[in-house]
Chains A and B, each alone.
Chain A
Amino acid sequence: MTDALSQSSRLAGQLPGLLLEAERVAHSFLRGWHGRRRAGTGEAFWQFRPYMPGESVRGIDWKETAKRGEAFVREKEWEAAQTLWLYRDPSESMNFSSSRQLPVKKHYAEVLMLALGMLALDGGEQLGLVGTSLAPQAHAGAIERIYAGLPQQKHLMEDARLITARSHAVIFGDFYAPPESFLPFCERLALRQVRGMLVQVFDPAEESLPYEGRVKFKDMENTAAPAVMIQQVEAIRAEYAEKYAAHRAHIQKTVEGWGWSFLALSTKTPYQDAMTQLYRCMEAR
């Protein structure tokens, strides 16, 4: 068996897993959500209105005009579909789960992201994946392309030019890095009138540091970095919690200053609740 073949078969085996999970999350979320009252996709008819002088003649619906004897324009809903840019942090630190009962952060983020993407596609929006060369698409197959593109996704900072002005961006990550390493980039997007949202996915253990005794902590991002030996974890827990909260508060305050939104989601949170929170956050914008 060739390498490509084995890889494709492995992918084929995996493909439905994550996607189906995302789909389940998206659908069960739709069932419980009544806020969306839309007539259809952007191609659908919305209303006829009288032709206003100065408008493009191409907009005139000739059939209707012939019926009524007056020039009418066919207006379509969501004529200009928006583009939703999605991103999840591909870094190593996302591959973490403190317990077997909890999902790995990356997986959790991907499920939420793909579910969000499906809902957006349902709403007629275009989907784009930050960090890949894929052009935004709106057809139903887009989600699979995004899924397939996930492994190729590069780091956020490397490829921001693609994100078009006045579009939406939802960025999933753990943001465990000095704020100055990623906030300026987001700020540039905000200046280009991209409406963004930062979703911090974290493991409960990262917030509470539940370890005890002598523990040697190693960096997941940079394995070459010297490990930190903590003689008594319980003794530093309070200070750690304080720093952790401060880091999060700083990010939140900064992005909200640009009119962006920030959401912290623990992997402990059920997907449905997380989706609700995500939606509320987006609607509130």
Chain B
Amino acid sequence: MLPWGAVTFLSPWILAALSAVPVLWWLLRVMPPRPRTMSFPAFFILKDLKSDVKTSAHTPWWLLLLRTLLVVVLILAFAEPVEKISTALPGSGNVVLVVVDNGWPAAANWKARQDRMREFLPRVHRSGRSVVFVTTAPSRHDARIQAQGPVNAVEAEKAIDLLAPEAWPADHAATLGKAREVFARGGVGHTVFFSDGTKQPGTASLLEALQREGGGLTIVADSKTNDPHILTLEGAGTDGFVVRIRRMMVRLQDRKMQLVAYSAETGGILDKVNFNFEAGQVWTDVEWPMLPDLRGQVGRIALSYPVMASALHLTNSRWRQRPVGIVADAQAREDKSFLNEVYYLRRALEDGGTVKMDTPEALAASDMSVIIWPDSAQVSPAGQEALADWVKGGGFLIRFAGPVLAGHPNSVLLPVTLRYGQRSLEGAMTWEKPVHLGSIPEESPFFGLSVPEDVTVTRQLLAEPTPESFEKTWLQLQDGTPLITGAAHDNGFIVLVHTTAGPEWSDFCYSGLYVEALQRMIAQSKGIAHYKASGVLSPLRVMNGFGVLSVPGDKDIVSPVNPAEKFVPSPKTPPGLYGDAQQFVAYNLGDYTDIPQKLESIPASVIEESYALSGEKSMKAPLMKIAVLLLLLDTLVTFWLRGLISVPMRAAAVFAALIVVAPPALAADEAQELAGGIYLAYVETGDQDTDITSYNGLAGLETTLKMRTTIDVRGVRAVNPARDELSWYPVLYWPMTEAQHDLSSRAARNLQDYMQAGGLILFDTRDQQFSSSGNDAQATPGTRVLRKLTKGLQIPELMRVEQGHILSKSFYLLDAFPGRFAGGAVWAEKSPDLAHDGVTSVLIGGHDWAAAWSQNTRDRARFAVEPGGERQREMAYRFGVNLYMMALTGNYKSDQVHVPHILERMKK
């Protein structure tokens, strides 16, 4: 290698060819370009000219210069110049062992790590060696340290793309064992350790062994820059959270940081708080005041940077348990009579989980979020006291009125003062008609529920009409008297329903509002934060190194957690959510780990490098581009000199040359074109047959859309997510083929951005005919490809598209979404982002839609629509129309569910 300033030539001997340039110059000079040939009418005059000039024709100097330059540039390009070249890889042998730290602290700086690893590869390539990767975190598949390779530099780049930090710590002692296995295979000439800058008991011996046995060690350490953070929730009081953040580095400057709270329901951002991590501190507490309403919705608290599993806290709140107790004696518990209040309450609460029935003392003693006290229940003074204490401690008490309460209106646990006696509206002694339910005040927690019109109340208890009693009214009758009143009572809440829980005094208990109101009240309760699970909890969602939750993979060895034992983050039990559909427990990495120690003492003989990129850049490609341009120019000039292109052609050629030189302008034009209209797009699979079918299918759909809707489709485009900008297309149709490669990280990012920005991807596994069940073991080929391809994507939680989904009514009213096949389920995002108008970002199905949409005769003959024939094809088109309508108009059609109500109101 020959250094020349900052540029080094990898094949310097080629530069020797430069000495031949003067010879070339001379040759070019004496060998002029071929003359142009002219047929000339006045030839006879020319023929007889005496003084034919015999000067030797030379190549014009500028052409000479152009050609010489071209040759020089080519020679330089082939000499492979590299700017700011890194030093050669030390050691010998034909294998380089690359040890990569990918325990949880590595996530803090992961991108820099990957970039540095990629930059390292040309050095491996130049030394002609191959790479064996050993990752220090136990594998999620078998909890052991994995070795990969040997692979060449090209495959190593792919391997680096796929490397990711895990949500559990690295195991350097076990890594040493694996490294020794690799050494035993022989050929290892040098070892490179991409460290995350942390130390554990086995680290020192690992470094020492790598240095001694691995043919010398280069350590790429970022102990100076890597700064893993740990976030723990220290307190969740009534007025907000206290978040403790710990870090590894002692910094000399204050650092501005940000905490973000995400909603448990939608995943959207609820609140942010900025704080200052003071210089010199390794931990800080952030007090984060938050309204109780908002607080109840928080599902996740995380640092905005660094993004890592340890800097994240799942709050359990989405899965906060709200056990309900009903005060009932043994007899009422078993009684199934239709007059029993407890029966109605139990029926109403059936869907909400388990309901406990016991004496008030027992209920108050156990963890209950809500206690319902029907009028018929016998509550002793001791029981009342226990309940009062429980309410003071934050309980939510719901009482129902009835004959007993009517006799004791000065009971203590009431939200309002009651008047003596009951109001009877329909009886022998009264001419008043039973009263219907009235409106729900805006301040009421029930606001928004629909009030049934046919519910009447015949008897109720009346509140003393004080100003407060109006504020406390949550639901009133048509005459303005309260039906449900509620008020805060110390930390807790007391609610009174002024009629019975059963049908004695009203038919409220038959209405849907009864159930909804109970659910609202239960949701209003504080709930029990620290749910004590019994028995083992199976994994539901587990974290990766960046804290992203996902369903455990097929091959992962994730196993259930026993809450009685200490939780240890490991491949078997990664942090995440454990439990079943009703009861979840969050295990946060931060709660079960400590700030790691810094890696400080590195053996003296180890070569130390940093994660800063050296800026090494090969100049071969740019030089080649210049050479090609020069060659093009030379060709044009030669043609012109020989008269093969005339004047206007020449102008066109110059124009063409300009276009070659200035492609961005053209790209901008294309972007403008794409942005100016709607294009139907499909993802190129590389399988020609599938791509043609996709194209034909979308072209057929284009015709349909133009004919039936106002969607003005401009055309059909094939896109490659690794290369193309996707944001122009409302929908991407993506058929699954076996041939497709895994997504590159760039493609994955591009697709992720597309979905995030409101795009819709229709994944078509095209294999409905093979699918039998959702059994994993018998996954269809298309499904397997889908899983493989979407591994790099964060696919949101899915649900089956049911009747009533926007997709079924955005244009046509559909009850199924057939393509070439029918009968399978179509899956959509469970809780689409409201910012995108509730449009799902993914649709997954296996109906091979493009084959049904195609109007191409050949496709029609090949792809018979089964089993429904042409009728089904029509339905497939309707699905396509609905799909695009949904993607383009969002949920506005879903408003139509209100149309019957609006019409009814207008009739009045």
Contact A176:B37 (CB < 8 A) given known A214-B57, A231-B55: no
Contact A216:B45 (CB < 8 A) given known A100-B646, A230-B52, A236-B51: no
- The answer for the CA separation of A236 and B38 in the assembled complex, in Å, is 16
Q: Tell me if B41 and A239 are in contact (CB < 8 A).
A: no
Q: Tell me if A215 and B54 are in contact (CB < 8 A).
A: no
Asked if B581 is at the interface (CB within 8 A of a chain A CB), the reply is no
Q: Tell me if B57 and A213 are in contact (CB < 8 A).
A: yes
Asked if A206 is at the interface (CB within 8 A of a chain B CB), the reply is yes
Asked if B49 is at the interface (CB within 8 A of a chain A CB), the reply is yes
Number of residues of chain B lying within 8 A (CB) of chain A = 28
Of A174, A230, A232, which contacts B46 at CB under 8 A?
A230
Asked if A247 is at the interface (CB within 8 A of a chain B CB), the reply is yes
Q: Which residues of A contact B55 (CB under 8 A)?
A: 231-232, 235
- The answer for the CA separation of A218 and B38 in the assembled complex, in Å, is 6
Asked if B48 is at the interface (CB within 8 A of a chain A CB), the reply is yes
Asked if B857 is at the interface (CB within 8 A of a chain A CB), the reply is no
Contact A228:B47 (CB < 8 A) given known A174-B41, A214-B57, A235-B53: yes
Nearest A residue (CB) for B54: A231
Considering the complex, which residues of chain B in the window 790-825 have a beta carbon less than 8 Å from any beta carbon of chain A? none
Q: Which residues of B contact A216 (CB under 8 A)?
A: 35-38
Minimum Cβ distance to chain B for residue A274 (Å): 19
State which of A117-125, A191-199, A219-227 sits at the interface with chain B: A219-227
Q: Tell me if A220 and B41 are in contact (CB < 8 A).
A: yes
B interface with A by C-beta (< 8 Å): 32, 35-57, 641, 646-648
Q: Tell me if A229 and B35 are in contact (CB < 8 A).
A: yes
- The answer for the CA separation of A105 and B41 in the assembled complex, in Å, is 10
Number of residues of chain A lying within 8 A (CB) of chain B = 36
Nearest B residue (CB) for A217: B40
Return the CB mask of A228-255 against B: 1 if under 8 Å, else 0. 1111100110011001100100000000
Minimum Cβ distance to chain A for residue B33 (Å): 8
Q: Tell me if A178 and B43 are in contact (CB < 8 A).
A: no
Contact A176:B51 (CB < 8 A) given known A214-B35, A216-B35, A216-B38: no
Q: Which residues of B contact A232 (CB under 8 A)?
A: 53, 55, 57
Other than the given A96-B41, A176-B41, A219-B47, 20 more pairs (CB < 8 A) read A100-B646, A176-B43, A206-B42, A213-B57, A217-B40, A218-B37, A218-B39, A219-B40, A220-B43, A225-B43, A228-B43, A229-B35, A230-B46, A231-B52, A231-B54, A231-B55, A231-B56, A235-B53, A236-B46, A244-B45
Q: Tell me if A93 and B41 are in contact (CB < 8 A).
A: yes
- The answer for the CA separation of A93 and B641 in the assembled complex, in Å, is 24
Q: Which residues of B contact A227 (CB under 8 A)?
A: 37
Q: Which residues of B contact A219 (CB under 8 A)?
A: 39-40, 43-44, 47
Minimum Cβ distance to chain A for residue B862 (Å): 41
Return the CB mask of A119-154 against B: 1 if under 8 Å, else 0. 000000000000000000000000000000000000
Most chain A CB within 10 A, of B40, B48, B57, B641, is at B40
Q: Which residues of A contact B44 (CB under 8 A)?
A: 176-178, 219
Nearest A residue (CB) for B47: A228
Q: List 29 A-B contacts (CB under 8 A).
A: A93-B41, A93-B42, A96-B39, A100-B648, A174-B42, A176-B41, A176-B42, A176-B43, A176-B45, A177-B44, A206-B41, A213-B641, A214-B32, A214-B36, A216-B35, A218-B38, A219-B43, A221-B43, A228-B47, A228-B52, A230-B53, A231-B52, A231-B56, A231-B57, A232-B55, A236-B51, A236-B52, A239-B51, A240-B46
Q: Which residues of A contact B38 (CB under 8 A)?
A: 211, 215-218
Of B36, B47, B48, B49, which contacts A215 at CB under 8 A?
B36
Q: Which residues of A contact B35 (CB under 8 A)?
A: 213-216, 229
- The answer for the CA separation of A228 and B39 in the assembled complex, in Å, is 10
- The answer for the CA separation of A211 and B648 in the assembled complex, in Å, is 17
Q: Which residues of B contact A178 (CB under 8 A)?
A: 44
- The answer for the CA separation of A100 and B51 in the assembled complex, in Å, is 31
Asked if A23 is at the interface (CB within 8 A of a chain B CB), the reply is no
Q: Which residues of B contact A225 (CB under 8 A)?
A: 43, 47
Minimum Cβ distance to chain B for residue A3 (Å): 29
Minimum Cβ distance to chain A for residue B58 (Å): 10
Minimum Cβ distance to chain B for residue A5 (Å): 33
Q: Which residues of A contact B50 (CB under 8 A)?
A: 239
Q: Tell me if A203 and B52 are in contact (CB < 8 A).
A: no
Minimum Cβ distance to chain A for residue B428 (Å): 111
